[in-house]
Amino acid sequence: MVKLGQRLKDIHWRDAAARFGVWGVRDYYTILDQMAREGAQITSGYILVILAAALLATTGLLLNNSAIIIGAMCVAPFLGPSRAVCIGGLYRKGSIFWGGLIKQILGLLVVGTTIAYLITVVLKAGVPGIDVTQEILLRAMPNEKDFVLSVLTAIGAGMAASLALSADPRIVAKPWGQIIDAMIGVEIAISLLPPACVVGMGFAFGRLEISRNAFSLLMVNVVGLDFIGSMLMLTLRGVRRRYLDRETQVRDLVRAIILNSHPDEIVDVEINVVLLGEQSADVQARVRAEPLGRPADDLAKSIALALAERVGTRSRVTLEWVPSQQATTHQLDL
């Protein structure tokens, strides 16, 4: 009776644990890690796109034209760094977290704010009628209603960004996922770039209260977007550092066993890990080897046993052994 009760307790615990985490998606947690790393990298293209977006946003704010402002949001590239902050924080990877946050702040306050300030100063000096518009005042928090609704927009954009990765997790490996990312990126930029531009425009008009209020709104939106919306939602969806570690451990162990089995014949190994639960996985390995290379009959079984013993993961291992097509390259120096 005691053993039966303990067994039922163990089953209940496993069922409860299985509610958290995203299962059945190939290399899911590793792909999230790669997305975060890419999102934390500052590139010249990132700076140039923000320059273009800030130019459009500033023009739209001065013209009091919401359509132009929305067009600028379609250009602004702030989804990547926001995800780097969120995923880097959940994975406890400081370099990714801080890299994404610095990239975000650099793009907003250094590039966006500066461009808006310079454009406004030049236009104010040479073009009559340049003045503070209603669209600018909307980002300067004129009343409590606008502040609350702006923050809710930022939180909703962060939730949408996280749900796109977890509600339908297979999107991370699908080409059409980029289309959804683009649409979510627009929502994220709405909360970030206009306030950043208004900070610079306030200085250009000599209205420090506008700059101060827009900066406060921007910082609150960053917190609502990155932490309350994105990070909290992925946490509730079960994204954990231990699942990334499990994928990595399984992949590294399988690679080591395969390479050691035929050290002189294997050219390349591609390994995909599909976590099915806390302690179960599907492992698919594609091995390119010399034409005479042959896997041992019990290699897959040996890998499965090693995973159970060393990693604590019950695994179904599939090996695909394909011949390597060696190509010869000749170089002619003239």
For 87-123, the pLDDT digits (tens) are 999 999 999 999 999 999 999 999 999 999 999 999 9
The predicted model scores a pTM of 0.84
Residue 120 is assigned to a structural domain of this protein: yes
Q: Residue 164: its pLDDT value, please?
A: 79
Q: Residue 175: its pLDDT value, please?
A: 58
Rg of the chain (C-alpha set): 26
d(CA 115, CA 53): 10
d(CA 250, CA 246): 6
Dihedral sign (CA 307, 311, 315, 318): negative
Are both 76 and 148 inside the same structural domain?
yes
Are both 233 and 257 inside the same structural domain?
no
Question: How far out from the chain centre does Cα 237 lie?
Answer: 15
d(CA 101, CA 104): 5
- Stretches where the chain sits below pLDDT 70 are 1-20, 142, 168-183, 187, 291-297, 324-334
∠116-99-141 over CA atoms, to 5°?
40
At 288, list the tokens: 């390119």
At 282, list the tokens: 């599907």
Residue 231 is assigned to a structural domain of this protein: yes
Are both 136 and 283 inside the same structural domain?
no
Are both 263 and 286 inside the same structural domain?
yes
Residue 283 is assigned to a structural domain of this protein: yes
List, in sequence order, the alpha helices (H) in the chain: 2-18, 28-39, 44-63, 66-75, 79-90, 94-105, 113-126, 134-138, 144-166, 177-205, 208-223, 232-236, 241-261, 299-306
Residue reference for tokens 């594609």: 286
Residue 11 is assigned to a structural domain of this protein: no
> Pick from 207, 239, 271: which residue ends a domain?
239
Are both 156 and 255 inside the same structural domain?
no
Q: Residue 326: its pLDDT value, please?
A: 53
Residue reference for tokens 């958290």: 20
Dihedral sign (CA 38, 43, 49, 53): positive
Q: Residue 17: its pLDDT value, please?
A: 44
Structural domain of residue 265, as residue ranges? 242-323
Are both 25 and 124 inside the same structural domain?
yes
Are both 212 and 80 inside the same structural domain?
yes
Are both 234 and 251 inside the same structural domain?
no
Are both 283 and 318 inside the same structural domain?
yes
Are both 232 and 250 inside the same structural domain?
no
Are both 224 and 268 inside the same structural domain?
no
> Pick from 239, 259, 285: which residue ends a domain?
239
Q: Residue 12: its pLDDT value, please?
A: 41
Are both 229 and 262 inside the same structural domain?
no
The domain tally of the chain equals 2
> Pick from 223, 239, 255: which residue ends a domain?
239
